[in-house]
Structure 1
């Protein structure tokens, strides 16, 4: 699988399992994804970093259902891939008469 070679887990603090359980308990094991109607509220099994960048503080963590966590992670991965993608068009060349 794609995550077999990932080093992402190495970036987590040593007490990650305790933090994860604390966040799930704090959020009552309910998904905290915001929708126009309010909050998702489905059973949460995953803990998400609200703001990326390595901040593992409790205020930057929330419980999410697996569907919303996959959706958010996919979106973030797509944006990161777009930044590494070569441009669709070449830069315009100067006209030889303008040299």
Structure 2
């Protein structure tokens, strides 16, 4: 069974986002639990896949460019969304309430 080219691209972007997010999480030194790891990997993967929308604006952008935007969103986007949610719900930025 052949996988369509756009499906391969989306899977690649999801993998890039998951790897970057997991690497960033491991380097932070915060206590980890399965819930935090899974949540951040899901968000990082999703944000990386959103990067494929850049193709709508720049249709001739090579896959390397899309992957670069994907990596930037995976790194920048997770922290931006976390800060936005924390500000919206008044959660202190010093730690998670789930711990």
TM-score under structure 1 length normalisation: 0.31
Q: Normalized per residue, which structure has more helix? A: 2
Higher relative contact order (CA 8 A, sep 6+): 2
Larger Rg: 1
Structure holding more strand per residue: 1
